[in-house]
Amino acid sequence: MLGWLGVRWWAGSDDGDVASQRRHHRARRRPEARIVEQLAQEQAKRTPELNVGAASCPDGPPERTPGAVVLCTVEVEGVMVPYTVTFLGSRAESEGGGDNVEFRSAKPMVDVARIVGDIRDQAAVQLQVAPDRLTVDCGPAKVQVVDIGGRITCTVNDGRSTRRLAAVTDDTGNVAINEI
């Protein structure tokens, strides 16, 4: 349900060919370019059904001191999703060089289509109605970024009545659906 991401990356080349050495050299000159590219690639792998755009680190790359952190964002379905990027250290040249960084979601990203499907399935059972007879509306956005404990308000209509529900994120990245 969420694009909750915590991944460590080696931001450098993986082999010793000339092209890799050039990429590695560029990564040294502009480490933020390599970091944002990898952040966008990882998000695209984690959410292949969603449109993932560019990533950016408005404050620049993290300092090259282990433990340094910078806030970055990646665009998912037109919504800027925040991540923290932590510099963990540099890899030795014998290991391909580059920077060892960790990406971690700063806030949960909720895939609204999945929430709509879950609500429809749960409501169909509770109301004893076929799922296709229910209308579920959680707003126009395909994804939403929320605080832990934050909620997305949805409505369910079975043709006779409308109910309001809240999809609430917890600190483990799960979403609970509660009646309001």
Average pLDDT along the chain, 180 residues, taken 10 residues at a time: 40 38 45 81 92 87 78 94 86 62 87 91 89 94 91 93 89 79
What pLDDT, on the 0 to 100 scale, is given for residue 35?
Answer: 82
Indicate the pTM of the whole model.
0.71
Q: Model confidence over 11-20: pLDDT tens digits?
A: 333 333 444 4
* CA neighbor of 43 nearest in space, from 92, 82, 17, 97: 82
Q: Is 76 helix (H, G, I), strand (E, B) or coil?
A: strand
What pLDDT, on the 0 to 100 scale, is given for residue 48?
Answer: 93
CA–CA dist 177, 180 (Å, integer)? 10
What pLDDT, on the 0 to 100 scale, is given for residue 4?
Answer: 40
What pLDDT, on the 0 to 100 scale, is given for residue 13?
Answer: 32
Q: Which H or E run contains 162?
A: strand 162-169
What pLDDT, on the 0 to 100 scale, is given for residue 41?
Answer: 92
**1, β-bridge pairs:** none
Tokens 């349900």 locate to 1
